[in-house]
Amino acid sequence: MRKHVEIRWSEVARMSIEKKVEDLELLDSLSGGSTLTAEGALQVSRQIDRQVAKRLGLA
């Protein structure tokens, strides 16, 4: 940071925080009405893994 004194680091930090907040708000809005449980997500993940392995000829 000391090498680049021309950069307004407080502005960089502010923008980064704003981006993170926007990302979290998007995730909240997408998952707000979700009824997917952790077990359900695991099942979906396993099914996707099987399909990808099949497509790649690994299964």
Confidence check: pLDDT of 59 > 90: no
CB 53 within 8 A of CB 59: yes
pLDDT by residue (tens digit) across 29-38?
Answer: 888 888 888 9
User: Residue 23 has which token pair?
Assistant: 């990302």
- Name the 3-class secondary structure at 16: helix
pLDDT by residue (tens digit) across 11-30?
Answer: 999 999 999 999 999 988 88
Alpha-carbon gap, residue 8 to 57, rounded angstroms:
51
Q: What is the rounded average pLDDT of the residues 39-46?
A: 95
Report the percent of the chain where pLDDT is more than 70: 100
CB 1 within 8 A of CB 9: yes
Pick left, alpha or beta for residue 7 (phi over 0 → left; psi -120 to 50 → alpha; otherwise beta): beta
Entry pTM: 0.52
Mean pLDDT of the chain, nearest integer = 92
